[in-house]
Amino acid sequence: MATNGEQQPAQHRFDPKFTETVINATGPKTSPRMREVMTCMIKHLHDFAREIELTVDEWSEGVALMNWAGQMSTDRRNEGQLVCDVVGLESLVDEITYKKAAEAADYATQSAILGPFFRHDHPTREKGATITFNTPDDGQVTYMHGVVTDAVSKKPLANATVDVWQASTNGLYEQQDENQVDHNLRGKFVTDENGEYAFYTIRPTPYPIPFDGPAGKLLKLLDRHPYRPAHIHLIVMIDGYKPITTQIFDKDSKYLDDDSVFAVKDSLVVEFVPRKDDSKAEYELKYDMAMAPNDSKEPAGPALAGSGAISS
């Protein structure tokens, strides 16, 4: 099936005026963007239904699945989002948003892209502190560090905040797991006068996205696994620069090629190397980030290949 570039004209035997009728029902007071988005959505939704000749029963199953997603969603879980994730939609809108942000200097990244496991109240910790307070037996302690720079001048940036969060080796974030202390594997670090940040954490491991709801059902129906490759979430911010929200992936992890939510991009894959001369850590990870000034069209890097808003 052609996914782009050579779509066939939609030939079908159904009411040729129907889609136009629905689109034209939109009233004059709709916002221009709402009109544009919904016109395109209705067109594709109808073309999809006609191309595949979707039946009432099949549509009803889809409605039941989406209603179920809403019913499972809470303050701590967004199953509607997860259903989108397994069909690649969050990763795609993330790519789109990132490209638009890189082109428009006045665009501010919204907190909506952070997903359900981010918390706004990460404690600020000292450079070199640890964020692993309940290190599991299979946890491999890692020293992560790097430099935050200006993408244009290449100079180090002091006082940038590096916000980090990750799951433990059992696949659970601290708010999902009563055996982890509050804010385990989370912290906010401020870069020093050399633009440097540093902390101890554990090397992340692959884990399955929640499999007990409609997203899991969809994965089963699609004969797919629910695993995500090992990753660490990061947000880097400093006044005057475009914020970066990203995930970095362990190059030795399983599932890099078949992330269940399609968030991996080559530039986000990093290497954990054995740590020398440090009794506190087995591994080391160096990760630098270049920040694009708000008024420049320079993209941020190296996280630029994806802003990595996937939530899980």
Q: Considering only residues 90-129, where is the footprint of its own copies by CB under 8 A?
A: 90-97, 99-100, 110, 112-113
Q: Which of 59, 179, 194, 240 binds its own copies (CB under 8 A)?
A: 59
Shortest approach of its own copies to residue 122 CB, angstroms? 21
Non-local (6+) Cβ contacts of 227 within 8 A are 206, 207, 208, 209, 254, 255, 258, 259, 260
In which element (H, E) is residue 237 found? strand 231-237
Max distance between CA atoms of the chain, in angstroms, equals 73
CB 284 within 8 A of CB 272: yes
Measured from the CB atom, the residue of 127 and 217 that comes closer to its own copies is 217
Shortest approach of its own copies to residue 150 CB, angstroms? 25
Using CB under 8 A as the criterion, what x/- string covers residues 250-279 for binding its own copies? --------x---x-----------------
Bridge partners (DSSP) of residue 237 are 161
DSSP assignment letter at 76 = T
Measured from the CB atom, the residue of 18 and 133 that comes closer to its own copies is 18
| 159 lies in the binding site for its own copies (CB under 8 A) | no
Bridge partners (DSSP) of residue 273 are 284
For residues 189 and 177, give the distance between their C-alpha atoms in angstroms, rounded to a whole number.
24
For residues 309 and 91, give the distance between their C-alpha atoms in angstroms, rounded to a whole number.
7
Using CB under 8 A as the criterion, what x/- string covers residues 208-237 for binding its own copies? -------------xxxx-------------
Q: Which stretch binds its own copies (CB under 8 A): 66-74, 157-165, 232-240, 289-297?
A: 66-74
CB 194 within 8 A of CB 224: no
How many residues contact its own copies, by CB under 8 A? 93
Using CB under 8 A as the criterion, what x/- string covers residues 28-57 for binding its own copies? xxxx--xxxxxxxxxxxxxxxxxxxxxxxx
